[in-house]
C-alpha cells in the first residue's frame, strides 16, 4: 500500500548514539520552518546512550519517545506524528512502531505515527549488535508499510572531501557492515546498509553521517531541505 502522510503534523526526533542534543538544533529549526508544527527532540544523555548495549537501556529511551509522541499526537491536526531517527535512533524507532511486548512494554507506535524517516541508520550489518539483530529478525524490512510510510536516507560521501576522522573510520566501518572497505557510504554507514527493504529510498551525494565526518550532514539545514521535501 502506498500513501502520503501529511507533512503538516508534529515531529519527534530521536538522535544517534552519543551525539549531543545541541547538534540537532539546526535540524529542529529547519523542520519547524517547513512543517509549521511542533518539533521535539527526545533528550538522551551520553550516559543513557551507553546503557543501550542492554535491552533495558533501549526501553528507557523508547518510554520517553512514547510519552513525547503521545503528547504531540493529542494536539496534532492529523492525530498522528512524524518520526525521524538518525543513525541508531532509526533502528530504535522501527521497534517503537511494534505492538509486541518488549521489556514488559507494548509501544504500538504505529497508532501514533504514520511516517518514519531514517537518516543513515545501519539496518543491516555483518557485525551488528544483538539488539539490532533482534529488530531485523522481529521486524524485517518495512514491517508496517500498510500503515506507516518508511523513508530511508543514505549519504554517499566522497572520502577525499571528508574529515580525517571519516577517512580513518570509514574502511573499518564499511567492512564490518558489508564486508567491503571501499563501499559507498556516509563515512560510517554504507548506502546498502542504510536503505531498508520496502522503504522509499533516498541517496544524497556529498552528505556525511554527522558533523564530525563532513561539513554537510543529515542535520544541516540545506541537507534537511533535500530529504524533507
Confidence grade of residue 6 (pLDDT, cut at 50, 70, 90):
low
For the cut 80, the answer to whether the pLDDT of residue 219 exceeds it is yes
Residue 1 is predicted with a pLDDT of 39
Predicted local confidence at residue 107, as pLDDT: 98
| CA–CA distance, 93 with 65 (Å, rounded to integer) | 9
Residue 7 confidence (pLDDT): 76
How far apart are alpha carbons 21 and 87 in whole angstroms?
Answer: 14
Q: Are 103 and 58 in contact (CB under 8 A)?
A: yes
The mean pLDDT value for 15-31 works out to 97
193-211 pLDDT tens trace: 999 999 999 999 999 999 9
Q: Are strands 81-86 and 39-41 parallel, antiparallel or unpaired?
A: unpaired
Work out the mean pLDDT of the chain and round it to a whole number. 96
Q: Specify the pTM.
A: 0.96
Buried b (16+ CB within 10 A) or exposed e, 8-21: ebbbbbbbbeebee
* Domains in the chain, CATH or no CATH each: 11-224 (3.40.50.1820)
- Between CA 126 and CA 118 the distance in angstroms is 20
Residue 65 has pLDDT above 90, yes or no: yes
Distance, CA of 163 to CA of 102 (rounded, Å): 38
Helices (H), the chain: 25-35, 46-50, 55-74, 88-96, 130-138, 164-178, 191-194, 221-228
> 170: closest CA among 191, 193, 188, 194?
188
Q: Select from 1, 7, 13 the least CA-distant residue to 37.
A: 7
Q: For the segment 159-187, what is each residue's pLDDT rounded down to a tens digit?
A: 999 999 999 999 999 999 999 999 999 99
229: pLDDT confidence band, cut at 50, 70 and 90?
Answer: confident
Instruction: Kindly list the strands in the beta sheet with 39-41, ordered across the sheet, starting from the edge strand earlier in the chain.
Output: 39-41, 11-14, 81-86, 113-119, 149-156, 200-205
Amino acid at each position: 500500500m502506498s500513501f502520503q502522510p501529511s507533512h503538516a503534523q508534529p515531529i519527534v526526533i530521536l538522535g544517534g548514539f552519543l551525539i549531543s542534543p545541541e547538534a540537532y538544533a539546526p535540524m529542529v529549526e529547519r523542520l519547524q520552518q517547513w512543517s509549521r508544527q511542533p518539533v521535539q527532540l527526545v533528550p538522551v544523555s551520553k550516559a543513557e546512550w551507553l546503557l543501550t548495549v542492554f535491552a533495558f537501556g533501549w526501553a528507557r529511551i523508547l518510554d520517553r519517545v512514547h510519552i513525547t509522541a503521545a503528547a504531540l499526537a493529542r494536539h496534532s491536526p492529523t492525530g498522528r506524528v512524524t518520526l525521524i531517527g538518525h543513525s541508531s535512533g532509526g533502528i530504535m524507532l522501527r521497534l517503537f512502531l511494534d505492538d509486541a511486548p518488549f521489556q514488559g512494554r507494548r509501544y504500538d507506535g504505529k497508532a501514533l505515527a504514520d511516517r518514519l524517516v531514517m537518516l543513515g541508520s545501519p539496518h543491516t550489518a555483518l557485525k551488528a549488535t544483538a539488539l539490532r539483530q533482534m529488530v531485523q529478525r522481529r521486524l524485517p524490512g518495512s514491517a508496517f508499510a500498510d500503515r506507516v510510510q518508511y523513508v530511508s536516507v543514505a549519504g554517499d560521501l566522497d572520502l577525499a572531501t571528508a574529515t580525517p576522522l571519516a577517512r580513518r573510520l570509514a574502511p573499518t566501518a564499511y567492512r564490518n557492515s558489508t564486508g567491503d572497505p571501499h563501499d559507498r557510504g556516509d563515512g560510517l554507514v554504507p548506502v546498502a546498509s542504510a536503505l531498508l527493504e520496502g522503504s522509499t529510498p533516498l541517496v544524497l551525494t556529498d552528505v556525511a553521517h554527522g558533523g564530525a565526518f563532513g561539513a554537510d550532514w543529515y542535520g544541516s539545514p540545506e541537507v534537511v531541505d533535500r530529504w524533507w521535501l
